[in-house]
Amino acid sequence: MLLGRTANGLYWMNRYIERAENMARLVDAGLRMALTRTQSASEEWNSVLLSAGSDVTFSQKYSDYTAANVADFLLRDTSNPSSTMSSIETARNNARMVRTALTRETWESINEAWMALKRMLARPIDERDLPSVLDAIKRETALIRGSFYGTMLRNEIFDFSQLGTYVERADNTARILDVKYYVLLPSISWVGSTLDNYQWESILRSVSAHRSYRWVYDADYKPTNIADYLILNVRMPRSLTFCYRFLSEHLKFLGDDYGERHACHATAEKTQTMLRAGSIKDIFDTGLHEFLAKFIRDNTKLGDEIAQDYRFN
Amino acid sequence: MAAFDEMLPEVSGLRRPYSAYDRWLKEQDPARLTEKMQDAERVFRKTGITFAVYGEQEASERLIPFDIVPRIISGNEWRRLTQGIEQRVQALNAFLDDIYHRQEILRAGRVPSELIARNEAFLPEMIGVRPPAGVYTHIIGVDIVRISEDEFYVLEDNARTPSGVSYMLENRETMMQLFPELFQKIKVRPVENYPQLLRQSLAAVRPQSTKGAPTIAVLTPGSFNSAYFEHAFLADQMGVQLVEGQDLRVVDGHVAMRTTEGYKQIDVLYRRVDDSYLDPLTFRPDSALGVPGIMDVYRAGNITIANAPGTGIADDKAIYSYMPEIIEFYTGRKAILGNIPTWRCSEPDSLKYVLEHIDELVIKEVHGSGGYGMLVGPAATKKECETFAKKLAAKPSNYIAQPTLALSTCPILTEKGLAPRHVDLRPYVLVSDRIQIVPGGLTRVALKEGSLVVNSSQGGGTKDTWVLDD
């Protein structure tokens, strides 16, 4: 038995830990693009902001899409509720609230991550330090994940936490794809230009999959393979299918434990079945953008249903 | 004014309870001790043991400083203290039961009626209500000061929601991590089982109607409350839910919490929310921290609230001055633990004396706590005294005054070695069908040289408190 408020806290704690890390990954990918192509760097930074869902709030504050501005906004700006600093702060506040549900190791790792990042992000980041700051963010969130997986009992507390992680991750991957869907569309020339290659690598890099892609597919980047990898590959830990495999599993555990199925079960299963049965060709045939837009809507709906079915508020 | 030092009194040399510790201390490399002191701070910061201080924005997550020199009490001293505390706690509960029922003590003229009737801490809603098992104060913290080898006084009774017990537990935990060898050498009575005792104690006072094992929960105002760490810590250690008002509502005549599987009944609520916020239907209507209707459930005997609403009348500073009479009235014996002589400024003669001797006295607000709104005469400037005298004269009944006692000192480790600092002691008492006192407590220490204010909100620190098994 868990308080609805505690389940809510666990869910959001994990969404925000995931988000804190995703922001660092997006900046990392943007930085790479900006380093390799100086021509339209501001366009690249704009798509990074779109993927982060922060383009509107950014444009209210800045007019220049430079590395320094975007990195500052996405990593350390506390007026941006999704920045790494805001996310880790929100994650910690939630952790504080649900502290009795966490192992000491998990709580300490979150608290230490918060302390370390607060120190590191207290002042504007020098461009030369940006790579090491991004590494540090990923390391801190990896430590949280490590102590979480290593010490938490696999019970409802774990299930609600994982639901938060995978709803956020699925949303993140789908958004990254949707922002760049046009570069993945089949074009007249099937051989990618240098520019395309950079774009494709950037997509993979923003989900930390540029190396593992080569272990699964040919060394060459192909748009259909990239889309297949990020949407349908069941082994790739940030793919939509992977996320839904675990969402369904944890929802099933909860359903079995409580002896009750809810609307969220049906929603998750429907998406999972769709992903399992689908081929990348079908997805391209119906339209990649349409597919992703619907996925994002359904994923948001799943989050709302989980909150309602388990009395988060 | 030379204070009595509990380790090294000037007259008699090293005191016995400290002899084994002193031997060990002399063998230690000072550099290593300094290192341990820093270790302690790191341990506390990492585990997030922080204490939010109201009014200090930057310090919203400040640590209470911890000193690594333990405060040591012999088995004999402890036995004496516990007898006095038990007697006092019995009297407090008897007083509360009487005040909310027949009011014999008022009829006997031992305590003035107007002190009760006009007191905000007195809850008319509790008249005629008998809490489950007849217990009012389930958890009490009694603040005790020492001024010489044999003189202990009670400074204050905390009968509402005494805090600080988590520091007692964490201080011990930290000391055992830092100096395991010390605990091999010296037999210190354990305090670690406090959460289990608390849980058993709360379970023992469940409502009569409870079927099976009672469901217990800790009610906190929320994660931004200054003592939130402690609320979470205690719930965790007891293995019970930590709830907020927003989690609770009255369902079918019982208080229930919103869980992922629907509403579940609660039988015993250890609340860390003040009386006035407990039930917006009965008390402050703007309170979002409480549970609408919980007082009706309580009056129907369907939930235990610990401590009971209205217990504040027993630890009010104006009532405090009557404690010797109260103890004698209900136990038939003189108080084993004395009170500090107290002037009630509401009495004209006392007020006159207090105003004349303002620079020698400690003056406190009757309803204040946490060291706010008080004047320490000898430490105050002439101007501060004058300003305070005006406040006092304007509303005398709002104040009591006490002599400035030479509180005992205990050494702390400073950069220049050991240095004496004033201390007090708060042992924790659990009341159910019996009275239990955990051997130890929270020693608060004024870190500033010469300061007598030990409150953590005013720059005080803490020490591990050892009761020897001798």
Cβ of residue B269 closer than 8 Å to a chain A Cβ: no
Q: How many helices (H) and strands (E) does chain B have?
A: 16, 21
Contact B47 A2 (CB under 8 A): no
Contact B261 A260 (CB under 8 A): yes
Contact A111 B48 (CB under 8 A): yes
Nearest CA in chain B to A93: B223
Helix H segments across chain A?
Answer: 4-36, 41-52, 55-61, 67-71, 84-97, 104-120, 130-151, 156-179, 181-184, 194-205, 212-216, 223-231, 240-258, 263-277, 280-286, 288-309
* pLDDT band with cut points at 50, 70 and 90 for residue B59: very low
Averaged pLDDT for residues A233-242: 96
Comparing CB atoms, the residue among A104, A108, A311 nearest residue B260 is: A311
B373 neighbors B388 (Cβ within 8 angstroms): no
What is the per-residue pLDDT for A7?
A: 97
State pLDDT tens for residues B189-223: 999 999 999 999 999 999 999 999 999 999 999 98
Extended beta strands in B361-441, E state: 361-365, 375-376, 399-403, 409-414, 417-426, 428-431, 435-437
Contact B242 A93 (CB under 8 A): no
Cβ of residue B45 closer than 8 Å to a chain A Cβ: yes
Contact list, A111 vs chain B (CB under 8 Å): 46-48
The two structure tokens encoding residue A266: 């049906």
Q: With a cut of 70, say whether residue A190 has pLDDT above it.
A: no
Q: How far is the alpha carbon of B222 from chain A, nearest alpha carbon, in Å?
A: 8
**Closest to B195 (Cα-Cα) out of B221, B232, B153, B225:** B232
Cβ of residue B177 closer than 8 Å to a chain A Cβ: no
**Spatial distance between the Cα atoms of B224 and B229, rounded to a whole number of angstroms:** 9
* pLDDT band with cut points at 50, 70 and 90 for residue B50: low
Q: With a cut of 60, say whether residue A191 has pLDDT above it.
A: no
Contact list, A310 vs chain B (CB under 8 Å): 260
Q: How far is the alpha carbon of B161 from chain A, nearest alpha carbon, in Å?
A: 20
Contact A156 B260 (CB under 8 A): yes
Q: With a cut of 90, say whether residue B397 has pLDDT above it.
A: no
Q: How far is the alpha carbon of B460 from chain A, nearest alpha carbon, in Å?
A: 25
**What percent of chain B clears pLDDT 70, i.e. is strictly above it?**
94
What is the per-residue pLDDT for B308?
A: 97
Q: With a cut of 80, say whether residue A123 has pLDDT above it.
A: yes
Q: With a cut of 80, say whether residue B100 has pLDDT above it.
A: yes
* pLDDT band with cut points at 50, 70 and 90 for residue B376: confident
The two structure tokens encoding residue A291: 């597919």
Contact list, A311 vs chain B (CB under 8 Å): 258-260, 262
State pLDDT tens for residues B219-271: 999 988 888 889 998 998 999 999 999 999 999 999 999 999 999 999 999 99
Cβ of residue B244 closer than 8 Å to a chain A Cβ: yes
A-B C-beta contacts closer than 8 Å:
59
Extended beta strands in B102-182, E state: 139-146, 152-158
Say which residue the tokens 């007020």 belong to. Answer: B351
Q: With a cut of 70, say whether residue B141 has pLDDT above it.
A: yes
Cβ of residue B259 closer than 8 Å to a chain A Cβ: yes
Say which residue the tokens 């293995």 belong to. Answer: B239
**Spatial distance between the Cα atoms of A98 and A106, rounded to a whole number of angstroms:** 11
Cβ of residue B235 closer than 8 Å to a chain A Cβ: yes
Q: With a cut of 50, say whether residue B52 has pLDDT above it.
A: no
**Spatial distance between the Cα atoms of B85 and B91, rounded to a whole number of angstroms:** 10
State pLDDT tens for residues B273-327: 999 999 999 898 888 899 999 999 999 999 999 999 999 999 888 889 999 999 9
Q: With a cut of 50, say whether residue B60 has pLDDT above it.
A: no
Q: Give the DSSP per-residue string, B130-148.
A: --GGG-S-SEEEEEEEE-S
Nearest CA in chain A to B238: A100
Average predicted confidence (pLDDT) for chain A: 92
What is the per-residue pLDDT for B296?
A: 96
Comparing CB atoms, the residue among A1, A115, A160 nearest residue B264 is: A1
Q: How far is the alpha carbon of B231 from chain A, nearest alpha carbon, in Å?
A: 10
H helix or E strand, kind and range, residue A99 = none
The two structure tokens encoding residue B72: 């040591």
A17 neighbors A89 (Cβ within 8 angstroms): no
